[in-house]
C-alpha cells in the first residue's frame, strides 16, 4: 500500500474490511460513529444529476466540523467539485470515476489556499460506497491535513488545488491540463463560483 498518513490508512483498511466480496461496502455498513475521533474530518458524498448539460455532481450529505471550519460554511448540499479550482475539477472527477471502476479508494494530494495566499496540504480520501439503489453512488471521505493548519491563522480556504492522485496500493496518472500553482500574487483571483446562490468560500 502507498505511504499515507495513519488516519488515511485507517479509513482505507476499514473500508476494505467492510466490503467482503463486494465491489465496495454498502452505505448502510458505514457508521460515521465508527470514526469517533476522526468525525470532524469525515464526510459523505452522494451523486446527483446535474442540470444544464447533464452529467452528475457529488453533493455533500454529511461534513464534519473541520471541513466547516476550513471552508467557513456548512457544506451540506454543496457540490464537492465546486470547491476545486476550475482547471482541476475534471481530474478530480476522473479520479473518483476510476475509484468506482477499480473498486479501490483514491487519495487526492491537495492544497487548500486562503485569499491571502497561504496554503495547507491535505490527503483527501474518496472511498466509493454502494447506495440504496445498488449503484456505487455514495462516497466516504476524509480530510487529513498533512501540514500545519496554524499558518492559516483561522482564515478559510477559498479554493483547493490538486497535486496528485493515488490509489490505495499504487500511484496512477489522471490526465489534467498543466497550470501554474496559485501564489500570493494570484490570491485576489482565488474565488469560486456561486453554488445554489451562495459563494463557496
What pLDDT was estimated at residue 59? Answer: 97
pLDDT at 50: 65
Q: How far apart are the first and last CA of the chain?
A: 34
pLDDT at res. 105:
95
Q: Of 112, 96, 90, 82, which is closest to residue 181 (Cα–Cα)?
A: 112
The helix/strand count (H/E) of the chain reads as: 3, 8
- Distance, in Å, from the CA atom of 188 to the CA atom of 83, rounded to the nearest integer, reads 16
Handedness of CA 167, 172, 178, 184 (dihedral sign): positive
For domain 6-20+37-199, give the CATH number.
Answer: 3.30.450.20
What is the full per-residue pLDDT of the chain (201 aa) written as tens digits? 568 999 999 999 999 999 888 999 999 998 877 778 999 999 999 998 765 555 689 999 999 999 999 999 999 999 999 999 999 999 999 999 999 998 899 999 999 999 999 999 999 999 999 999 899 999 999 999 999 999 999 999 999 999 999 987 644 333 343 344 444 344 333 333 333 343 333
Q: Is 197 exposed, middle or buried, given 0-12, 13-18 or 19+ CB atoms closer than 10 A?
A: exposed
Rounded to two decimals, the pTM is 0.81
Q: What is the CA radius of gyration of the chain?
A: 16
- Strand arrangement of the beta sheet that strand 138-145 belongs to: 56-63, 42-49, 138-145, 119-129, 106-114, 157-167
d(CA 4, CA 25): 21
Burial code (b: 16+ CB inside 10 Å, e: under 16) for 146-177 equals: eeebeebeeeebbbbbbeebbbbeeeeebebe
SS (H, E, C) 56-85: EEEEEEEECHHHHHHHCCCCCCCEHHHHEC
Q: What is the pLDDT of residue 169?
A: 62
**HSE, side-chain direction, 13 A CA sphere, residue 87:** 11
Residue 39: count of CB within 10 angstroms of its CB: 14
Nearest C-alpha neighbor of 73 from the set 193, 201, 159? 201
User: Where do the structural domains in the chain lie, given as residue ranges?
Assistant: 6-20+37-199
Amino acid at each position: 500500500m502507498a505511504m499515507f498518513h495513519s488516519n488515511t490508512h485507517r479509513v482505507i483498511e476499514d473500508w476494505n474490511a467492510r466490503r467482503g466480496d463486494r465491489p465496495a461496502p454498502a452505505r448502510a455498513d458505514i457508521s460515521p460513529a465508527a470514526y469517533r475521533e476522526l468525525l470532524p474530518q469525515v464526510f459523505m458524498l452522494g451523486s446527483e444529476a446535474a442540470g444544464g448539460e447533464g452529467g452528475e455532481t457529488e453533493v455533500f450529505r454529511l461534513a464534519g466540523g473541520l471541513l466547516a471550519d476550513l471552508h467557513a460554511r456548512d457544506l451540506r448540499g454543496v457540490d464537492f467539485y465546486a470547491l476545486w479550482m476550475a482547471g482541476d475539477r475534471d481530474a478530480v472527477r476522473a479520479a473518483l470515476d476510476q475509484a468506482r471502476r477499480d473498486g479501490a479508494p483514491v487519495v487526492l494530494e491537495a492544497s487548500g489556499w486562503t485569499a491571502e495566499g497561504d496554503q495547507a496540504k491535505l490527503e483527501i480520501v474518496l472511498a466509493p460506497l454502494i447506495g440504496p439503489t445498488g449503484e456505487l453512488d455514495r462516497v466516504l471521505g476524509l480530510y487529513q491535513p498533512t501540514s500545519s493548519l496554524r499558518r492559516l491563522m483561522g482564515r478559510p480556504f477559498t479554493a483547493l488545488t490538486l497535486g496528485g492522485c493515488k490509489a490505495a496500493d499504487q500511484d496512477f496518472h489522471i490526465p489534467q491540463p498543466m497550470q501554474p500553482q496559485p501564489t500570493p500574487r494570484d490570491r485576489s483571483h482565488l474565488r469560486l463560483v456561486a453554488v445554489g446562490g451562495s459563494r463557496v468560500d
